[in-house]
Each structure stands twice: as structure tokens, then as C-alpha cells.
Copies of this chain bind each other. A is one copy, B any other.
Amino acid sequence: MTEAAGDAREATRARIEAAALELFTGRDFETVTADEVADAAGISRRTFFRHFATKADAVWGDFHAHVVRLEELLAGTDDAQPVLASICAAYVEVNDYAAEDLPLLRQRMRLILTEPALQAHSQVRYADVDRVVAEHVARRTGDDPHSLVPRLVATATRAAATTAFETWLIGEGSLAEDLHTAFDQLAGGFPGLRRPD
């Protein structure tokens, strides 16, 4: 196998993913049972859980690859660049989708940011992202990755990215633009809030 069977596995995985996304956007995430997704994908319930550990996982494509790519991008950033700028650039690039993939991304992100069960699940996923970013910051500052500043920068920048995603979903602008806006606010210490009034 490894060739044909591997492809077949990828194909069924993609079928499941497509079926799941369609059902979840049509109705509330929680009201769709794993059985229904399996039926729609033409496989058994048991097989569904062999491809995705969790019902929620079917919404996040191959998120691990995403994290790995982010890590590579961070490792490849220029040390002459400010740390926050390097993180922003990495976030922008890892989310640089082709125009034809944007509708799918919107669909996914809408689910993840809207459905409570998926919001909860996302925390576990984001922990990986935070770890990677914190390590990058620590590498740049010489701090322990578990100390306050690297951790804080990681969670704060992720907050910025998430907020950027939210405004991108609502509005019509580009994701890169919203990411830069959010990171600028963060890096500037929220200039609009500085002076009272």
C-alpha cells in the first residue's frame, strides 16, 4: 500500500471533512451526530473516529501541519526585525490562502469562532500555537519560554490573530490587513487608549 491505500485514506478523510462541514454549517454543530456525518460520507461511525479523534476535529483540517509551518516561518524570520513584527509576518504568511480557498476558510473559521463547542475545543489547539510562539520569543529575548513575557506575548498575539479573524469574517477587507491592524494596536500599546478621553 503506502501509495494507493494512502491516497484512498486521504480521499475518505477529505470526504468526511466535506460532509462534516456541510452538515455543521447547515445545522448547529451539536445537533449533528457523528452517525449522520458518517452516513453522509458513506462510511461507518467507527471509521469516522479513526480519521478524526473528535467530532470537532473534522472542522480543523490538518491543523498540525499549520502549526509546523508557523514554527518554520518563525525560525526563518530576520533577527533584525522586531519580535512582534516577526510574529505578525509569520501569522500573515501562514494564513495566506489562495483566493479560491478563502470561502472554505471563512466557513471553517465561522464555525470555530461561533459554535460554543468548537470555541471550547479551539483552546486545546491554540495551546500548540502558543507554545511555538513562546519558544520563538524566548529564543529572541533569551528568556525561559515558560516565563511571563514569552507566554504573554504568545497568548496576546494569538488574541490579536483571533480578533483579526473575527473582524475579517464580519467585514469585507483582507485578512492580512486586519492582522496588521491588530498587531499594530498591540505593539503600540493601544495608542488610542493612552490618554484618558
Contact = CB atoms under 8 A, between A and B. Distances in A.
Given A79-B196, A80-B196, 4 more contacts: A120-B121, A152-B160, A156-B159, A187-B189
Contacts of A83: 190, 193, 196
Given A82-B194, A159-B158, A185 B116 contact: no
A166 interface: yes
A196 B159 contact: no
Contacts of A167: 147-148, 151
Nearest to A167: B148
Interface string A145-188: 01111011101101110111011001000000010011001111
Contacts of A163: 148, 151-152, 155
5 contacts: A137-B193, A147-B167, A148-B164, A152-B190, A158-B159
A60 to B, nearest CB: 14
A62 interface: no
A12 interface: no
A181 B151 CA distance: 13
A193 B82 contact: yes
A118 to B, nearest CB: 10
Nearest to A127: B119
Contacts of A119: 123-124, 127
A197 interface: yes
Contacts of A170: 146
A188 to B, nearest CB: 5
A46 interface: no
